């Protein structure tokens, strides 16, 4: 189309000149005096008289009428404005844009790959290359034998099983062994095992295993079977908090209002520790009388025993309080103020004599409130009031009765009291008091009970994990005369319980352990009447008839002699002096005691009798064996506690001695020679 434009313009101009020439009225040509017939104004060789186009531009070819000659248009069959003579693509689709030779993009193939430029995504393909439909070089897939999308040439594991994920090298976890321990990564629980370490079937070396889950690798764990949730030291062994004071064994009285006249007998036992109860009636009487309160009764207990370690259990409840709860503890501001006054007065009067102050007793049995938040409020008041008057005082929550920290009796303490105390008063708790009331042949279970509570605190309440543990009640507790598992004990059984419970407690690192009470409250006639009583806590008999039908006596009972022997053997002990010894026999319990009087206690927890070979005390050539039941009870007070017990001598052979033991009856082993 472009070559025709100049011709069309020329034609238009010529036509315009012709039209102008036809109208002489507007012809601007000046009159030069020539005849019109001979004038040729536009100089095209045609006189104006014959010139239809009088304004033809100079040098323009004209026809006989004086108009420009229109040249013939060359043929252009496809109408692309490129004459057929010059058109390399005479069949171009109409309307398509063409180049100078009349070809559109659809008709060109610049790189000669067989794909038109219009469809060619790769217009510069090298000559001779095979191309795809887009005009791009055709890339043939490389071999991938296992179909893991890693070409065989780059595949370090060309035989990968189907459907397994691979890394950039073409290897699945089942084919890798990054630490070179012979266990594939897919099966290797420890994929980073150090070089040259022996591993187990899971791919773990001893340095990487921790079979007991205590945080210490098996390679460094001296105690690889530590029970779950126990705190361990760097060797992987259980950490037992050390007691905070000297170990002592004492005989406690539990009911101060009944036996003031027994002071002489208490002295005769040689007890280094007593527990006194300051009952709620004293609180009530004091509030009623104030300055007229009669201190005679309390003075008669505290003052004569000021040279002993005393734990005083204070009951801040009495019937006169305005409380609907059981027991009636202070709730109103007035009652709480009265309690604070009472506690302050007690601490002022007895602070120098009483070392441990205990807030109430056996809270898990006697506290019937919905939760222990109120108890903790009063405990904090108790603590702050006593310590304000006696900064050296040790404050103890209520004693905990029953079995372990997780049993049905102790659940309130575990679930409510411990968390409350730990959260709000953990730093104000100096000791935990555990009570143990079990059958006569279960005294040794006290150690496990102490251990259970201690581990519970270590695992759950770290701010109370270093408190002392004390035992202020250890006795056989009888409830049901129809229960054949709890028949009345003989005096020998009472003595056996005393030995196994106290020594077990000391081996569990309690600070002190109290056995029984000073009173006898047995009333059981033909199994028709029963009062709760402590059979093994009876040192001096008031009752004349026992539940088994035998007659009693009014002097000291056998357990009193046994306690005197224990007090002599354990005098001057320090923390760590009493320890369990692994006998290698699940039915044989042994406790070794160091200190000023080295000795051991051994007993059998099976049935019947048992012949046992046990290691002799180190360095002993012979061993004196004492039964736990006295055979001579004619002399009291005891001058020489050893004289009350029969003894035999066991010779040491190959470092061992042979014993014949009766079930649950302990014997003392005292090295000789």
Q: Which residue reads 């007993």 in tokens?
A: 603
Per-residue pLDDT of 283-306, as tens digits, reads: 888 888 878 899 988 888 888 888
Q: Which residue reads 């003075």 in tokens?
A: 299
397: which 2 tokens?
A: 């929550």
- From the list 281, 285, 280, the residue with the least C-alpha distance to 359 is 280
Residues 337, 289 within the same domain: yes
User: 319 burial class (0-12, 13-18, 19+ CB within 10 angstroms)?
Assistant: exposed
Q: What is the predicted pLDDT for the residue at 159?
A: 82
Reduced 3-state DSSP string for 181-198: CCCCHHHCCCCCCCCCCC
Of 8-17, 35-44, 452-461, the poorest mean pLDDT is in 8-17
pTM, to two decimals:
0.61
Rama region for 544: left / alpha / beta (φ>0; ψ in -120 to 50; rest): alpha
Per-residue pLDDT of 28-48, as tens digits, reads: 555 555 455 678 888 888 888
Question: Does the N-terminal peptide bond of residue 378 adopt cis geometry, omega within 30 degrees of 0?
Answer: no
Q: What is the predicted pLDDT for the residue at 20?
A: 44
CATH of residue 454's domain is 3.20.20.80
Does 185 map to a domain?
no
Give percent of the chain above pLDDT 90: 21
Of 180-194, 297-311, 486-500, 586-600, the poorest mean pLDDT is in 486-500
- Of 576, 598, 620, which one is at a domain's C-terminal end? 576
| Residue 569 to residue 645: CA distance in whole angstroms | 13
The total of structural domains in the chain comes to 2
Residues 554, 471 within the same domain: yes
Does 532 map to a domain?
yes
Structural contact between residues 436 and 471, judged by C-beta atoms closer than 8 angstroms: yes
Residues 457, 535 within the same domain: yes
3-class DSSP state of 672: strand
Per-residue pLDDT of 471-522, as tens digits, reads: 888 876 544 444 444 455 677 888 898 899 999 999 998 888 877 644 433 3
Residues 598, 568 within the same domain: no
Q: What is the predicted pLDDT for the residue at 669?
A: 96
Quote the domain boundaries for residue 600: 588-672
Does 509 map to a domain?
yes
pLDDT band at 202 (very low <50, low <70, confident <90, very high): confident
Residues 553, 653 within the same domain: no
Phi and psi at residue 597, to the nearest 5°: -125, 80
Orientation angle between helical segments 333-350 and 280-289, nearest 10 degrees: 100
Does 563 map to a domain?
yes
236: which 2 tokens?
A: 């992987």
Sign of dihedral through CA atoms 437, 443, 446, 449?
A: negative
Does 130 map to a domain?
no
Residues 522, 659 within the same domain: no
Residues 486, 592 within the same domain: no
| Residue 107 to residue 110: CA distance in whole angstroms | 10
Residues 618, 509 within the same domain: no
Q: What is the predicted pLDDT for the residue at 262?
A: 59
Residues 488, 622 within the same domain: no
Per-residue pLDDT of 393-415, as tens digits, reads: 999 998 887 644 445 555 566 66
Does 159 map to a domain?
no
Residues 568, 605 within the same domain: no
Residues 601, 499 within the same domain: no
CATH of residue 601's domain is 2.60.40.1180
- Of 517, 545, 576, which one is at a domain's C-terminal end? 576
Q: What is the predicted pLDDT for the residue at 543?
A: 43
- Of 514, 547, 576, which one is at a domain's C-terminal end? 576
Structural contact between residues 118 and 105, judged by C-beta atoms closer than 8 angstroms: yes
Does 314 map to a domain?
yes
415: which 2 tokens?
A: 């679930």
CB under 8 A, 24+ apart: contacts of 92-98:
none
Residues 369, 460 within the same domain: yes
Does 399 map to a domain?
yes
Q: What is the predicted pLDDT for the residue at 32?
A: 52
| Residue 589 to residue 664: CA distance in whole angstroms | 10
371: which 2 tokens?
A: 């939760």
Structural contact between residues 127 and 112, judged by C-beta atoms closer than 8 angstroms: yes
Per-residue pLDDT of 606-660, as tens digits, reads: 999 999 999 998 888 999 999 999 998 877 777 888 999 999 999 999 999 999 9
pLDDT band at 351 (very low <50, low <70, confident <90, very high): very high
Mean pLDDT score, 118-122: 83
Mean pLDDT score, 566-594: 90
């Amino acid at each position: 189309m472009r070559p025709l434009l100049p011709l069309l313009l020329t034609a238009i101009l010529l036509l315009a000149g012709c039209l102008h020439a036809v109208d002489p009225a507007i012809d601007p040509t000046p009159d030069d005096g020539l005849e019109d017939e001979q004038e040729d104004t536009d100089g095209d060789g045609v006189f104006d008289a014959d010139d239809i186009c009088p304004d033809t531009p100079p040098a323009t070819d004209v026809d006989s009428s004086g108009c420009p000659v229109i040249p013939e248009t060359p043929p252009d069959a496809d109408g692309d404005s490129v004459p057929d003579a010059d058109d390399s693509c005479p069949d171009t689709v109409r309307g398509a844009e063409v180049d100078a030779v009349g070809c559109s993009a659809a008709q060109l193939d610049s790189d000669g790959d067989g794909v038109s430029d219009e469809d060619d995504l790769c217009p510069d393909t090298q000559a001779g290359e095979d191309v795809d439909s887009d005009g791009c070089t055709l890339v043939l897939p490389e071999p991938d034998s296992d179909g893991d999308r890693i070409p065989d040439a780059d595949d370090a594991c060309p035989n990968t099983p189907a459907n397994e994920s691979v890394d950039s090298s073409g290897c699945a976890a089942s084919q890798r062994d990054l630490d070179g321990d012979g266990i594939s990564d897919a099966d290797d629980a420890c994929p980073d095992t150090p070089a040259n370490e022996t591993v187990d079937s899971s791919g773990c070396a001893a340095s990487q295993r921790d079979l007991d889950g205590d945080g210490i690798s098996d390679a460094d764990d001296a105690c690889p079977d530590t029970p779950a949730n126990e705190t361990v030291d760097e060797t992987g062994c259980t950490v037992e908090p050390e007691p905070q004071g000297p170990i002592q064994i004492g005989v406690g009285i539990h009911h101060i209002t009944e036996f003031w006249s027994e002071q002489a007998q208490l002295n005769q036992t040689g007890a280094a520790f007593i527990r006194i109860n300051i009952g709620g009636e004293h609180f009530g009487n004091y509030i009623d009388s104030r300055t007229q309160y009669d201190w005679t009764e309390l003075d008669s207990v505290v003052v004569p025993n000021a040279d002993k370690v005393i734990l005083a259990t204070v009951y801040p409840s009495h019937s006169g309080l305005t409380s609907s709860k059981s027991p009636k503890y202070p709730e109103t501001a007035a009652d709480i103020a009265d309690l604070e006054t009472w506690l302050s007065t007690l601490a002022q009067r007895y602070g120098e004599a009483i070392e441990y102050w205990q807030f109430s007793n056996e809270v898990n049995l006697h506290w019937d409130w919905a939760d222990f938040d109120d108890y903790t409020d009063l405990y904090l008041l108790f603590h702050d009031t006593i310590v304000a008057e006696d900064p050296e005082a040790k404050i103890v929550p209520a004693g905990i009765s029953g079995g372990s920290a997780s049993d049905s009796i102790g659940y309130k303490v575990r679930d409510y009291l411990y968390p409350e105390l730990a959260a709000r008063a953990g730093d104000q708790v100096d000791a935990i008091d555990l009570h143990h009331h079990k059958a006569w042949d279960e005294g040794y279970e006290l150690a496990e009970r102490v251990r259970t509570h201690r581990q519970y605190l270590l695992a759950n309440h770290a701010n109370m994990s270093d408190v002392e543990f004390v035992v202020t009640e250890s006795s056989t507790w009888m409830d049901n005369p129809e229960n054949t598992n709890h028949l009345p004990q003989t005096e020998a059984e009472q003595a056996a319980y005393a030995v196994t419970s106290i020594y077990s407690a000391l081996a569990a690192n309690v600070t002190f352990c109290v056995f029984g009470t000073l009173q006898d409250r047995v009333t059981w006639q033909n199994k028709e009447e029963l009062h709760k009583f402590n059979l093994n806590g009876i040192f001096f008999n008031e009752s004349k008839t026992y539940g088994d039908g035998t007659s009693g006596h009014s002097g000291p009972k056998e357990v009193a002699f046994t306690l005197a022997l224990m007090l002599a053997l354990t005098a001057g002990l320090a923390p760590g002096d009493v320890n369990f010894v692994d006998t290698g026999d699940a039915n044989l319990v042994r406790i070794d005691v160091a200190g000023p009087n080295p000795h051991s206690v051994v007993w059998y927890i099976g049935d019947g009798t048992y012949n046992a070979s046990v290691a002799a005390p180190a360095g002993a050539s012979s061993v004196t064996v004492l039964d736990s039941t006295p055979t001579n009870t004619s002399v009291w007070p005891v001058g020489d506690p050893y004289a009350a017990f029969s003894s035999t001598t066991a010779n040491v052979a190959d470092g061992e001695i042979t014993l014949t033991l009766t079930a649950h009856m302990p014997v003392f082993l005292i090295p000789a020679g």
